[in-house]
Amino acid sequence: MRHPADLAAAGLDGFDYHFSVLKRNESWLAEAHKRNLSTNAWTVNDEETMRWLMDRKINMITTNEPEKLLKLVN
């Protein structure tokens, strides 16, 4: 896993990490947004983690439970 600053410096436009990586590195979402990086987390199937990521303005969430996620988004 690479820090958002390293990804931006390498000319990449975002990251796609398992949600556990973002839980261990809580500042990475804010750091990514500062650098205009797109953010995605996978595979998020529980509402608590979905809410946690949405509160931190993640761009995309990959899930096996789309109905749960749609209820939270709406």
Please indicate, yes or no, if residue 10 is contained in any of the structural domains.
Answer: no
Per-residue confidence (pLDDT) for residue 2, from 0 to 100: 97
Q: Reduced to 3 states, what is the DSSP secondary structure of residue 21?
A: helix
Strands (E), the chain: 14-18, 38-42, 60-61
Q: What are the phi and psi torsion angles at 38 (to 5°)?
A: -80, 145
Please indicate, yes or no, if residue 57 is contained in any of the structural domains.
Answer: yes
> pTM for this one?
0.94
Per-residue confidence (pLDDT) for residue 48, from 0 to 100: 98
- Domain housing 65: 19-73
Which residue, chain included where needed, has tokens 């949405």? 54
pLDDT per residue as tens digits for the range 7-60: 999 999 999 999 999 999 999 999 999 999 999 999 999 999 999 999 999 999
Per-residue confidence (pLDDT) for residue 41, from 0 to 100: 98
Across 1-34, b (16+ Cβ under 10 Å) vs e yields: eeebeebbeeeeebbebebeebeeeeebbebbbe
Per the structure, the count of domains in the chain is 1
